[in-house]
């Protein structure tokens, strides 16, 4: 069953996926109606080819969407569903964003909903192998904007002075014996993932960066923790450390240490 609390945020994303499927079905029916009015043989061939392709694609998307609903509803998943759910989600997500914007919904709210769904799927997945080598990825904007110490290359440059949460994150990841990386953007985040080859990632970022990051990293489970921006975007951001620790503990329980 959907758990209470976060259920509303998940429903927004699921609702938009459903609307996206209906939208694609409507587009398909209109194209089919227009083309089928013509009597030429070539048009019939084109019509039949497009129809068969579209029916197949819609069928796959509908199966993926149904698998997603089933998975979230039952809080369990099957390995064969993973790929089709991911394909359906990645295909329908951009359409969901456009439809959501037309309906007047805030883009960050929709992306937040996507992140909740993604986190939920990561937590209910059956892990056949133990998870090792956890990486906590943190955006550079969490560092106090006037801090003179460069920490993106060398984390030990941080004096843990308490003016930002970098020191807290260093302490937390040291205690848990896991990797921490502060990155200045998506490119560096991808580079860190390539170099460190983590078994799981706890990613802290804004809705936009988390959404693209989660979609970029395939095959590695990611739990996204949305940051807080009391001074606006990309400046002195912070994060709920309890949520970060919960995410780390989730992966630690799945590993052998
Ligand atoms: S905690 Fe570290 S990164 Fe943050 S302001 Fe102090 S020295 Fe700089």
Question: What pLDDT score was predicted for residue 6?
Answer: 64
Question: What pLDDT score was predicted for residue 9?
Answer: 75
CB 120 within 8 A of CB 223: no
Instruction: Give pTM, 2 decimals.
Output: 0.81
**Ligand 1 atom nearest 158 alpha carbon:** 2
- pLDDT by residue, tens only, the chain of 257 residues: 445 666 777 888 888 889 998 998 988 887 787 777 766 666 677 778 888 998 999 999 999 999 999 888 887 777 778 888 888 888 888 899 999 999 998 999 999 999 999 999 899 888 888 888 999 999 999 999 999 999 988 899 999 999 999 999 999 999 999 999 999 988 889 999 999 999 999 999 999 999 999 888 878 999 999 999 999 999 999 999 999 999 999 999 987 54
Rounded Cα gap, residues 195 and 104, in angstroms: 41
Q: Please indicate whether residue 145, judged by its CB atom, sits closer than 6 Å to ligand 1.
A: no
Query: 74 CB contacts (<8 Å, ≥6 apart)?
Result: 1
Q: How far is Cα of residue 125 from the mean position of the Cα atoms in its chain?
A: 15
Question: What pLDDT score was predicted for residue 197?
Answer: 92
Site to substitute for ligand 1 among 152, 161, 235, most atoms within 8 A of C-beta: 161
CB 134 within 8 A of CB 200: yes
Rounded Cα gap, residues 200 and 255, in angstroms: 10
Site to substitute for ligand 1 among 141, 155, 159, 162, most atoms within 8 A of C-beta: 159
Burial of 172 (0-12, 13-18, 19+ CB in 10 A): middle
CB 164 within 8 A of CB 236: yes
Question: What pLDDT score was predicted for residue 31?
Answer: 78
From ligand 1's centre to the CA of 150, what distance in Å?
9
Walk me through the domains of the chain, giving residue ranges and CATH numbers. Answer: 7-113 (no CATH), 134-253 (3.40.50)
| pLDDT tens figures, 60-104 | 999 999 999 988 888 777 777 888 888 888 888 889 999 999 999
First-residue to last-residue Cα distance in the chain: 32
Question: What pLDDT score was predicted for residue 89?
Answer: 87
**Ligand 1 atom nearest 162 alpha carbon:** 1
**Ligand 1 atom nearest 160 alpha carbon:** 1
- What DSSP state is assigned to residue 4? T
Site to substitute for ligand 1 among 164, 170, 180, 236, most atoms within 8 A of C-beta: 164
Q: Which residues pair with 138 in a beta bridge?
A: 182
Question: What pLDDT score was predicted for residue 218?
Answer: 77
């Amino acid at each position: 069953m959907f758990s209470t609390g976060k259920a509303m945020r998940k429903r927004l994303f699921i609702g938009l996926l459903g609307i996206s499927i209906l939208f694609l079905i409507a587009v398909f029916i209109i194209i089919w109606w227009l083309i089928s009015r013509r009597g030429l043989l070539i048009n019939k061939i084109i019509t039949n080819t497009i129809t068969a392709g579209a029916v197949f694609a819609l069928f796959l998307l509908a199966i993926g969407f149904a698998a997603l609903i089933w998975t979230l509803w039952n809080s369990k998943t099957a390995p064969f569903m993973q790929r089709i759910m991911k394909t359906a989600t990645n295909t329908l997500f951009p359409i969901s964003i456009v439809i959501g914007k037309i309906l007047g919904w805030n883009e960050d709210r929709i992306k937040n909903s996507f992140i909740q769904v993604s986190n939920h799927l990561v937590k209910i997945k059956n892990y056949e192998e133990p998870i090792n080598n956890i990486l906590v990825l943190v955006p550079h904007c969490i560092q106090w904007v006037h801090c003179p110490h460069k920490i993106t290359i060398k984390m030990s440059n941080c004096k843990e002075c308490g003016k930002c949460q970098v020191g807290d994150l260093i302490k937390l990841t040291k205690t848990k014996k896991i990797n921490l990386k502060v990155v200045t953007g998506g490119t560096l985040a991808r580079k860190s993932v390539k170099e460190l080859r983590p078994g799981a990632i706890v990613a802290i970022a804004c809705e936009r960066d988390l959404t693209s990051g989660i979609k970029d990293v395939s095959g590695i489970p990611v739990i996204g923790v949305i940051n807080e921006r009391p001074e606006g975007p990309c400046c002195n951001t912070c994060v709920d450390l309890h949520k970060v620790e919960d995410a780390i503990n989730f992966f630690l329980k799945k590993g052998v240490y």
